[in-house]
Structure 1
Amino acid sequence: MKNKKPLIYLALAGFALGFVQKSELTLKDAFKKDFYVGTALNYRQISGQDAKATELIKQQFNTISPENLLKWEPVHPQPGKYNFKPADDYVAFGQQNKMFIIGHTLMWHQQTPKWVFEDEAGKPVSREVLLKRLEEHISTVVGRYKGKIGGWDVLNEAIDDQQGDLRKTKWLEILGEDFAAKAFEYAHKADPKAELYYNDYSLYRPEKREGVIKLVKSLQAKGIKVTAIGMQGHYGLTKPSIEQIEASLVAFSKLGVHVNFTELDIDVLPNPSRRQGADIAETFAADQKYNVYTAGLPDSVQQKLTQRYADIFALFHKHRDVIDRITLWGVTDADSWLNDWPIRGRTSYPLLFDRNYQPKPAFQAVIQTAKNKL
């Protein structure tokens, strides 16, 4: 999976036209010997409507994830009806640019249409009916991109936030505790060569870590291979600590799986939620005290963001033997979901490129970590 060709460090130069010049070291080149560096794409970028972002993606990244267009609701909105055009364009973009393409996500309790779990009368379907629908969906979607999409988030966010138990969802309620095994089995059958992942947020928390370890061990006991665990990196400026992140990274690697950081961003804004994470169901009403940088990010906060990214990528570089991929959740600050979560309309600054497609100070700090000898 990793490119082991010798890394040639290019001379650092200035910036022009809002992009990193070709003579400038890029993210994908800086970490070429270590792991893929990627981003999540929206359809405007894939279709070329956001040409500046598209160019930035081509320059900086060698793996891509689809932000929404391969989730069940967008790609399979009605029984027997699929909407493959956006996904086809996404995969074609990745192929044209020789990128490692990720599929996200096959089984999730969010963004799955109600009809999946109900009969024509609106009552819950039987286990047999739901299994048939799940297999048909996975077989159709994964099968369509067999040999093109290299890795799939098979199961997303199936562990409860508080206790680390299986999350109470329609999948668990109707199928029982083997719902995860069935999803992985169907995905492997549809494309035996694809890498298969479990993906979740707040995995630095001991309760969730133990829940994921229990889940993965149960799959392994059935002979089901989990290629990697995706740790969603929705972090803040100070929490979680590097030690907390590292503890889970090391614990997961002891399962014999690799670890990907799949949705990396750093929220610099005050958060009304008492929890760190990415529970999209948890939203709040607009309140100006949680949207404090509408005129721009103060230099003091910019420096904290820069140091935070440097520390996190130093950790990634340290554990590059078990990390295959780092994916930032968005290209520029303007693209980030954090502008609208947990409060809509905020001005957020969580990524490495600003709203003018310019690299932020954190970008150079990240590049520098690749050069540090550990």
Structure 2
Amino acid sequence: MKKIAILLGVLTLAVSCKTSSTVSSKGSLKDSYKNNFYIGTAMSLPQIHGTDAKSDDIIKKQFSSIVAENCMKSMFLQPQEGQFFFDDSDKFVEFGEKNKMFIIGHTLIWHSQLPKWFFTDKDGKDVLAEVLKERMKNHISAVVTRYKGRVKGWDVVNEAIMEDGSYRKSKFYEILGEEFIPLAFQYAHDADPEAELYYNDYNEWHTGKIKTVSKIVQTLKSRGIRIDGVGMQAHVDLKSPSIEEYEKAILEYTSNDVKVNITELEVSVLPSPWGTSANIADRVEYDAKMNPYTKGLPEYVKTEWENRYLDFFKLFLKHQDKIRRVTLWGVTDNQSWKNDFPVKGRTDYPLPFDRNYQAKPIVKKLIQLTEEK
């Protein structure tokens, strides 16, 4: 009997080990989602230059795609007209190539984080339309040509449409009207005909924005101008938007024969003074009641946060044929911009890796989603 008991114990242990091995057979997000869509993250300067080695280790292991968080924005690439600074973006692209990643450039035309000279003449007045066109073309051509064949996709135009569907009254719009968007896409395509081109925006589930962005896509296609996808910045919280709203937006955009990119995903647990927003110009003063979790999250909030991530990824997997990539906006909680937006100095927990560079339980659960039949 003793020998039988020992044999049964050995068999039980073997089965247990095999089961455990099966559950953890895919040890990273990028391996788990490789047959579904690219899984990516945004990279900051410390990561690009290797001074945040712990984050770099996570990026290399977990992600198949990277996007430049800031270093490819025009104020950094061309601070003075005709004077380009490519040191940081070169390092970013080299990191992606070395690690065989799908590299995304962000962003070519955006009203924010843009050098002051772009819209003004020597007297400080708005430039004429033809001058702005030339400046747009020169900037886009120089940047895209430098990384031709290396950067695989570009956020060509960023955040040009308001939630009600109207055009943002940026200088691009005031000087060139709606035409600035087709111009930007054409300039980018001319510089690299093989690169994928995207329109990117936040709160993209709003009905007015869906209507106008879809019209932009249709207009570009009707004129034979390349557009491959709509970037849906997923700066979401625990309540908004609903999964149903988000699914409807995905279906609306992709009905125009383009893919969707989930471009800037994080799930904030903190209260917002106005609901969801990603307009970096919107700030409110610090208030302690807006920063309730300075010592960590209560268990019920952790559960709600995990379920929110799982619900979104279930949606992404459901529509994987329509989704090109899912990109987190940052690697760890301590580096997330949500700690300072829209209220500076808060403590948020929006990303799957914590302040100690450890994977939260959600990472394993997201991996397990791909293993479910």
For 2:285, what is the secondary structure of its paired residue?
Answer: coil
1:314-364 per-residue CA deviation (whole Å, 9 max, x = no partner) reads 000000011110000000001111011001111110000000111112212
1:198-237 to 2 correspondences below 5 Å: 198-237=199-238
- Work out the number of aligned pairs and report it: 354
CA distance in 2, matches of 1:137, 1:263: 24
Aligned CA distance change for structure 1 residues 319 and 24 (closer, same or farther; 3 Å)? closer
Give the residue type in structure 2 aligned to 1:147. G
Q: In the alignment, which residue of structure 2 is the partner of 1:304?
A: 304
Which residue is equivalent to 1:350? Answer: 350
Alpha-carbon distance in structure 2 between the residues aligned to 1:126 and 1:54: 44
What are the residue-to-residue correspondences of 1:252-263 with 2, within 5 Å?
252-263=253-264
Separation in 1, partners of 2:337, 2:323: 25
Question: Does residue 170 in structure 1 map to residue 171 in structure 2?
Answer: yes
CA contact (8 A) 1:10 1:24 kept: no
Return the match for 2:142 from 130, 140, 143.
140
Question: Aligned partners of 1:98, 1:57: CA distance in 2, in Å?
Answer: 12
Query: How many angstroms does 1:12 deviate by?
Result: 4.8
Could you tell me which residue of structure 2 aligns to residue 110 of structure 1? 112
Aligned-partner Cα distance in 2 for 1:177–1:24 = 46
Partner of 1:294: 294
Instruction: Answer yes or no: is the 8 Å Cα contact 2:328–2:351 preserved in 1.
Output: yes
CA distance in 1, matches of 2:159, 2:276: 14
2: CA distance, partners of 1:33 / 1:225: 26
Question: Which residue matches 1:29?
Answer: 31
- Alignment partners' CA distance in 1, 2:296 and 2:162: 36
Q: Counterpart of 1:5?
A: none
Q: Which residue of 1 aligns with 2:12?
A: none
The residue identity in structure 1 corresponding to 2:255 is K
Contact 2:23 2:368 survives alignment (8 Å): no
Kindly provide the CA deviation profile for residues 257-309 of structure 1, in whole angstroms up to 9, marking residues without a partner as x.
0001000000100111x241211111001111111111111111111111110
Q: Look up the match of 2:51.
A: 49
- Check conservation: 2:26, 2:367, Cα contact below 8 A: no
Inter-partner Cα distance in structure 1 for 2:369 and 2:159: 30
| TM-superposed deviation, 1:167 | 1.2
Cα deviations across residues 15-56 of structure 1 (Å, max 9, x unaligned)?
A: xxxxxxxx7620001111000000000010111111110001
CA distance in 1, matches of 2:201, 2:21: 36
Check whether the contact 1:139–1:190 (CA below 8 A) recurs between aligned residues. Answer: yes
Higher helix share: 2
CA distance in 2, matches of 1:372, 1:313: 13
Structure (1 or 2) with the larger CA radius of gyration: 2
- The 5 A counterparts of 1:1-374 are 11-12=22-23, 25-161=27-163, 163-272=164-273, 274-373=274-373
Which residue identity lines up with residue 196 of structure 1 in the other structure? Answer: L
Question: SS state of the match for residue 262, structure 1?
Answer: strand
For 1:194 and 1:277, locate their aligned partners in 2 and report how far apart those are by CA, in whole Å: 29
Q: Hey, what's the Cα distance between the residues in 1 that align with 2:358 and 2:26?
A: 13
Determine the C-alpha separation between the residues in 1 that align with 2:26 and 2:57.
Answer: 15
Normalised to the residue count of structure 1, the TM-score between the two structures is 0.93
CA deviation map 1:78-115 (0-9, x unaligned): 11111100000000000000000000000011111121
What is the distance in 2 between the residues matched to 1:239 and 1:176? 32
- Conservation of the 8 A alpha-carbon contact between 1:11 and 1:25: no
Counterpart-to-counterpart distance in 1, 2:97 and 2:185: 25
Within 1, Cα distance between the matches of 2:230 and 2:333? Answer: 26
Distance 2:263 2:279 in 1: 15
- Per the alignment, in what secondary structure is the counterpart of residue 178 of structure 1? helix
Can you give the 5+ residue segments of structure 1 that lack an aligned partner in the other structure?
1-8, 14-22
Deviation at 1:10, TM superposition (A): 6.5
* Contact 2:186 2:226 (C-alpha < 8 Å) held by counterparts: no
4+ residue segments displaced more than 3 Å: 9-13
Q: CA deviation at 1:11?
A: 4.3
Rounded to whole Å, the distance in 2 between the matches of 1:367 and 1:309 is 12
Seq. identity, %: 51
